[in-house]
Amino acid sequence: MSTLKGATEECLHSFAMAIEQLDQQCEPAACQDLQEEFDRVKVWADNLGAFAHGHSALEWRLRDLDLMRSTTFTLLHLLQKTLLES
């Protein structure tokens, strides 16, 4: 199983690719909406410590909470899958 940091990075990369595709298709309203969601996910990741190190890292804080950890992975993968399919 990958890390939560890695899963979050993959998700953010998928967001960036989707935004780029929309921008190339000249759909400014959709691109702006997606950019706002992208910004929200980045704030979420920063607030939860997805990219933090040590004891403040999300990975560390969820180390003994298997259900929360797997649910977070599942949600990140579902979001990434949705972004890749669009």
Say yes or no to pLDDT of 2 above 90: no
Residue type, position 70, single letter: S
Residue 52: CB atoms within 10 Å: 16
Say yes or no to pLDDT of 38 above 90: yes
Residue 43 confidence (pLDDT): 96
Q: Which two tokens stand for residue 23?
A: 């921008």
pTM for this prediction: 0.84
Q: Which two tokens stand for residue 86?
A: 């669009």
Write out pLDDT tens, residues 41-77.
Answer: 999 999 999 999 999 999 999 999 999 999 999 999 9
Residue with tokens 């999300």: 58
Residues 6+ apart with CB under 8 A from 73: 1, 2, 4, 7
Say yes or no to pLDDT of 27 above 90: no
